[in-house]
Amino acid sequence: MSHTNHHVPTIVIGRLPLYLRALTQLAVEGRRVTSSQELSEKLGFSSAQIRKDLSYFGEFGKQGTGYEIEFLENALREILQVDRVWNMALVGAGDLGHALANYDGFELRGFRITAIFDSAPAKIGAMLGNWRVLPMDTLRETVRAQKIYLAIIAVPAAAAQAVADELVQGGVRAILNYAPTTLSVPPQIKVFHIDPVAGLQSMTYYL
């Protein structure tokens, strides 16, 4: 059963993982039922916004009784397609790459790094987590062979575009980019940028 609806605004898709995280926390606390009001208090979105976002995908709650947590949690996993495990490539075996390779939060939520690449001769062949670091010239064939559609770029800004080009050539369709630079990719490729410094700069405005 696919819930994919191409008319859903991107900003709504961006909020769904936050709803899923809140529901998972409630389930861990042993809760069975919640309401849009409670989710609103936890997340800071209005209850009307939460109801509207969920309504893009069907009817999940009943007036007066709220949402059954397990049902809604499973539905959101299916909508976000994290009811399975996705293989990921990690490019960059430096400090950030080490942290990402050793982060156990990915697998708990449906993602597994299965191939790690670097261009530095000193790093190639070394073990990082469970994986041996591979040379960049094997990236395309490895990504194709493992049917990897997701990749994380954790390389210096100057190298990021060339890495993105290789990933796209290998068939990767979504990239999480930690390099502090904007990537140029075909329109059908999804890119999400994580730039901690940009985040800090936007916060210091308020200090």
CB-neighbour burial class of residue 177 (10 A; exposed 0-12, middle 13-18, buried 19+): buried
Please tell me whether residues 67 and 167 are part of one structural domain.
no
Please tell me whether residues 67 and 144 are part of one structural domain.
no
Please tell me whether residues 128 and 35 are part of one structural domain.
no
User: Which of 34, 54, 79 delimits the end of a domain?
Assistant: 79
Average the pLDDT over 174-178 and give the result.
98
pLDDT in tens, 76-113: 999 999 999 999 999 999 999 999 999 989 988 899 99
Residue 168 Cα to chain centre, angstroms: 17
pLDDT in tens, 6-51: 689 999 999 999 999 999 999 999 999 999 999 999 999 999 999 9
| Domain around 125 | 86-200
Q: Model's pTM, two decimal places?
A: 0.87
pLDDT in tens, 178-190: 999 999 999 999 9
pLDDT at residue number 2: 44
Q: Is residue 4 part of a domain?
A: no
Q: Is residue 207 part of a domain?
A: no
Please tell me whether residues 141 and 163 are part of one structural domain.
yes
Residue spans of beta strands (DSSP E) within 73-206: 86-91, 111-118, 127-128, 131-132, 134-135, 150-153, 174-177, 190-193
pLDDT at residue number 120: 96
Please tell me whether residues 143 and 72 are part of one structural domain.
no
Confidence of residue 60 (pLDDT cuts 50, 70, 90): confident
pLDDT exceeds cutoff 50 at 1: no
Question: What's the farthest any 2 CA atoms get from each other in the chain?
Answer: 62
CATH number at residue 153: 3.40.50.720
Please tell me whether residues 58 and 150 are part of one structural domain.
no
Please tell me whether residues 94 and 155 are part of one structural domain.
yes
